[in-house]
Amino acid sequence: MVAPTSVVGSSDAPQYGPSKPPAPSRKDESAAQDLSQLPLFMSSLDDVPEGTNDAIEALKALAYEGEPDEVAENFRQRGNESYRSKYWRDAIEFYTKALAVGCSVDEINGACYSNRAACNLELRNYRMTNLDCAEALKINPRNVKALYRSARACLALDKIPEAEDCVRRGLAIDKGNSSLKAIQEKISSRKEVLVRSQQAGQERERLSKAKEAALKRALETRHVIQRTASTRPPDLPEDATVRLRNPSDPESTLCFPVVVLYPLHLQSDFIKSLSEDETVHSQLEDILSPSNLPAWDKEGQYAYPGVDVLVEKKKYNMHGKPSLSKIGSNAPLKKVLGEGKLELIDGILTVLVVPKPRLAEFVELWKQENPN
């Protein structure tokens, strides 16, 4: 097994991976970049097109000369150098080349898989990290570095049981390993967070179902007829729907959003919430106040109380005959609903408002559009 070396982690914990050098300065990085253009110091021979430099072509060939074990070890060492310089992708390339050689030495192959996993971990390629760790552990099930890296990757993916298993197996091999103990604490903390989040989600779901059941019971006891339309008006608020004042109590007051249509003028209004104890007419007193009529009512035809309020039934029921009913000015919604005169379409009530002098005209038009 390859001797443990240092990798990213806490300062008081043993590290796993090529040792970390001092942070390079900009001057050092510039010099390294210049040197990398020379054949002797190039970090990747594949970056240069074939046939552009005889010396480079010779170096490419030289990299694969020797026994497979020697070639693989050479690529592994180059990978370690790139890793120590934090050139993660270059390091991955060298480790991949080492594995592609077909080396027969398990120690070299295991180290390449484990170190490539370390690079993928730095790049946050957690799935690739786990795949490489799995290959390293096939070669050597006691590879603590691979178990540690896999634990970190699983933690990043919130795969808590898998992360715990990696730590458990690692500590069974090296019970004093401080890096594994450190990641174990992080796993435990994250597990608590996820458990609390799951419990909160379950509680939200329970409350949501309880509210749905309460609303359903409230509508049933009030004999409210409900239907679903094929399309919902696009300009309505998303939260426009029937609701209880106390969402958990089916005996509390029902409140309805109401769409007010003026079919003879192709206009509309929207009442966000109308209590079942109120009347539609009480709202129209404000909406159609003679002193504040809508801009489109230039002739003052809709000045309250000179209007009639009607509702449609079975408009969206393909098996029933549509009908039209008038709502009295003193009838609260609760009474109208109990008489079966109103239908709730997608959680919304719709009423039609026409000027009293034009009621007969509208009814005739409506019958033509909705023949029995």
In a domain, 78, yes or no: yes
In a domain, 236, yes or no: no
Closest CA to 242 of 109, 135, 334, 154: 334
Global pTM value: 0.62
Note the pLDDT of residue 57: 54
Q: In terms of domains, do 258 and 137 share one?
A: no
Note the pLDDT of residue 24: 52
Q: In terms of domains, do 255 and 357 share one?
A: yes
Which is more confidently placed, 75 or 316? 75
Closest CA to 237 of 284, 270, 267, 212: 270
Q: What digits encode the pLDDT tens for the residues 77-108?
A: 999 999 999 999 999 999 999 999 999 999 99
Q: In terms of domains, do 145 and 276 share one?
A: no
pLDDT classification of 344: cutoffs 50, 70, 90? confident
Q: What digits encode the pLDDT tens for the residues 105-126?
A: 999 999 999 999 999 999 999 9
Q: In terms of domains, do 158 and 278 share one?
A: no
* Encoded amino acid at 238, one letter: E
CA–CA gap between residue 112 and residue 135 (Å, rounded): 10
In a domain, 19, yes or no: no
Q: What digits encode the pLDDT tens for the residues 154-204?
A: 999 999 999 999 999 999 999 999 999 999 999 999 999 999 999 999 999
Contacts of 298 (CB under 8 A, 6+ apart): none
Full residue range of the structural domain in which residue 146 is found: 26-193
CATH number for 51: 1.25.40.10
Note the pLDDT of residue 19: 47
Q: In terms of domains, do 39 and 168 share one?
A: yes
Closest CA to 162 of 153, 171, 175, 173: 153
Structurally, how many domains does the chain consist of? 2
Note the pLDDT of residue 322: 78
pLDDT classification of 328: cutoffs 50, 70, 90? confident
Closest CA to 144 of 186, 107, 180, 188: 180
In a domain, 49, yes or no: yes
Share of the chain above pLDDT 90, in %: 62
Q: What digits encode the pLDDT tens for the residues 128-156?
A: 999 999 999 999 999 999 999 999 999 99
- 17 pLDDT more than 70: no
CATH number for 280: 3.10.20.90
Last-in-domain residue among 132, 160, 193? 193
In a domain, 13, yes or no: no
Q: In terms of domains, do 42 and 183 share one?
A: yes
Q: In terms of domains, do 263 and 152 share one?
A: no
Mean per-residue pLDDT of the chain: 84
In a domain, 305, yes or no: yes
Q: In terms of domains, do 174 and 253 share one?
A: no
Q: Which DSSP string corresponds to 83-151? A: HHTT-HHHHHHHHHHHHHTT---HHHHHHHHHHHHHHHHHTT-HHHHHHHHHHHHHH-TT-HHHHHHHH
* Encoded amino acid at 52, one letter: T
Note the pLDDT of residue 334: 86
Last-in-domain residue among 174, 193, 212? 193
- 307 pLDDT more than 60: yes
Q: What digits encode the pLDDT tens for the residues 233-288?
A: 667 777 788 899 999 999 999 999 999 999 999 999 999 999 999 999 999 999 99
Q: In terms of domains, do 168 and 301 share one?
A: no
pLDDT classification of 343: cutoffs 50, 70, 90? confident
How many Å separate Cα 15 from the centre of its chain? 35
Note the pLDDT of residue 89: 96
Note the pLDDT of residue 51: 53
Give the residues across from 242 on adjacent strands. none
In a domain, 338, yes or no: yes
Q: What integer is the mean pLDDT of 36-54?
A: 51
Q: In terms of domains, do 61 and 167 share one?
A: yes
Last-in-domain residue among 173, 193, 213? 193
Q: In terms of domains, do 143 and 280 share one?
A: no
Cα within 13 Å of Cα(215), Cβ side: 16
- 224 pLDDT more than 90: no
CA–CA gap between residue 16 and residue 123 (Å, rounded): 16
Q: In terms of domains, do 290 and 151 share one?
A: no
In a domain, 292, yes or no: yes
pLDDT classification of 347: cutoffs 50, 70, 90? confident
